[in-house]
Amino acid sequence: MYSPRYITRLIQAFFKRFKAIIFFSIFVGAVFFLILNLILPSIIAKSVEKIGISGKYSTDNLPEEILTLISDGLTTVDENGAVTPNLASSWESLDGGKTWIFTLDTTKTWQDGKNISTESVVYEFTDAQVNIIDEKTIEFKLQTPFSAFPVVVSKPVFKKGLLGTGEWKVKKVSLIGGYVNKLTMQDSLGNKKIFSFYPTESRLKLGFKLGEVSTLQNLFNPKPFDEWKTTEVQKNVSTNHFVGIFFNTLDELLSEKIVRQALNYATDKNNFDTTRALGPISPTSWGYNPQVKPYTQDIERAKELLNSDEEIKIVLSTSSSLLPQAEKIKDDWQKIGVTAQIQVVSGVPQNYQAFLATVDIPKDPDQYVLWHSTQQTNISKYQNPRIDKLLEDGRIEQDLETRKKIYLDFQRFLVEDSPAIFLYHPSFYTVTRK
């Protein structure tokens, strides 16, 4: 066995003989790692996507497409309206939909690494009592039975500072006047999404022209970018919205069903460059009824129903973004002797005769808030005992097939009665700089 002294002399001799090679190798290695450190980021570049969106949003009501990037809800809802587990692994109601008990999947974690628990999952409801049973079980006690409650808790939940459970983590939020001006988020690989918010679509387009953003989302009108050679325009038909003409059913003229039906027949629903909407429920929903009265344009039938030699005038209110559609409707109504005066408004007018608007379709077929006679959000002021009863039954029924039959009837009777004309599912455009 060699002595320590012998090994030391051997190492000294080796170093003396190969000293130049050793120092050269260290130098080359250092230079190599220095160059690699400079070049690698360009080889594995972190993407930075600058996205522009129009609208005023606070941190409490950000667009759903942003919220779902950051966090999850207890459940998730697919495009057909089916509810599946997310942060909750299961749920049940043993009293007809008045009390809901959710069991959490505690293997899932927040973005700070802490496990999901009932104490950290916070939903604030004015009409529901929240009880923590244990660290995995949470109970919601409602004032009245509501079969669609699992859809309600698909809304993403957050800890303080918009800390969520999703792939993207919020790094910075800047506010102007209480509204979000810019939001920066980052994923685990270092890729970034920077959302900039603009008050109007015209200001959003200007931001794109100035190079402030490289992608525009949810545009109503892609012009002038659809003619640019440096941009790519993608059209997306949103079956989660419909554009319709709401009638004030308390108006002296429009309280008459045959007048509403005449206007419905007079309107050419195929005169819009997108997908026809037959009713208020999304065509992808499990509760959709494709066999409602189609009200295909029939000028003669419209004149027959109207049966008036007197001049009829109707004020058609709408937003500036829907003015081209309003002009088409005006031309259609003129064919049956109805003169429409177009009025540009912001938001839902207090008093109107006809109102052309874009409406968000709820994820669940339940449309109680839109059409029930007791609801302030029933903007057509529509009152129909049969519709009220169907809506009341639909939101307490637990059996899916029975609920489906209820909503099939709801759509059939509602469309027949024409408190609104259902026109089309709008197209939204995404513009990307090449």
* Contact assessment for residue 402 and residue 265, using Cβ atoms and an 8 Å cutoff: no
Same domain membership, residue 247 and residue 134 = no
Q: Are residues 251 and 389 in the same domain?
A: yes
Residue 85 lies in a domain: yes
Among the candidates 121, 136, 152, a domain finishes at 152
Do residues 239 and 274 lie in contact, with contact meaning Cβ atoms separated by under 8 Å? no
Q: In this structure, are 372 and 262 located in the same domain?
A: yes
Same domain, 271 and 409: yes
- Of 152, 176, 209, the one marking the end of a domain is 152
Residue 130 falls within a domain, yes or no?
yes
> Could you give the angle at the alpha carbon of 176 between the alpha carbons of 173 and 180, nearest 5°?
40
Secondary structure (3-state) at 300: helix
For residue 406, give its domain range.
241-426
Kindly tell me the burial class for residue 172, based on how many C-beta atoms sit within 10 Å of its own C-beta (0-12, 13-18, 19 or more): exposed
What is the C-alpha to C-alpha distance for residues 153 and 417, in angstroms, rounded to an integer?
A: 33
Query: Same domain, yes or no, for 284 and 417?
Result: yes
Output the pTM of the full model.
0.85
Residues 148 and 294 in one domain: no
pLDDT one digit per residue (tens) for the chain, 434 residues = 555 565 566 566 655 665 666 666 666 566 565 665 555 444 455 899 999 999 999 998 999 999 999 999 999 999 899 999 999 999 999 999 999 999 999 999 999 999 999 999 989 888 899 999 999 999 999 999 999 999 999 999 999 889 999 999 999 999 999 999 999 999 999 999 999 999 999 999 999 999 999 999 999 899 999 999 999 999 999 999 999 999 999 999 999 999 999 999 999 999 998 899 999 999 999 999 999 999 999 999 999 999 888 889 999 999 998 999 999 999 999 999 999 999 999 889 989 999 999 999 999 999 999 999 999 999 999 999 999 999 999 999 999 999 999 999 999 999 999 999 999 999 999 999 99
State the CATH number of the domain containing residue 110.
3.90.76.10
Residue 258: C-alpha distances to residues 69, 95, 262, 279 (Å)? 47, 43, 6, 18
Pairing assessment for the beta strands 169-176 and 137-142 based on DSSP bridges: unpaired
| Assigned domain for 223 exists | no
Give the residue among 420, 410, 409, 355 at the shortest CA–CA distance from 382: 420
Asked if residue 358 is part of any domain, the answer here is yes
Select from 152, 170, 205 the last residue of a domain: 152
Q: Does residue 316 belong to any structural domain of this protein? A: yes
Residues 419 and 279 in one domain: yes
Q: Which helix (H) or strand (E) holds 52?
A: strand 48-54
Based on the domain organization, do 144 and 283 belong to the same domain? no
Nearest residue to 147 via CA among 287, 280, 292: 287
Across 227-255, b (16+ Cβ under 10 Å) vs e yields ebeebebeeeebbbbbbbbbbbbebeebe
Asked whether residue 170 is assigned to any structural domain, the reply reads: no
Same domain, 418 and 282: yes
Whether residues 370 and 257 fall in one domain: yes
Residue with tokens 């519709």: 387
Domains identified in the chain, total number? 2
Domain presence at residue 245: yes
- How far is C-alpha 259 from the geometric centre of its chain's CA atoms? 34
| CATH classification at residue 341 | 3.10.105.10
Within-domain flag for 363: yes
Helix (H) or strand (E) holding 357: strand 354-360
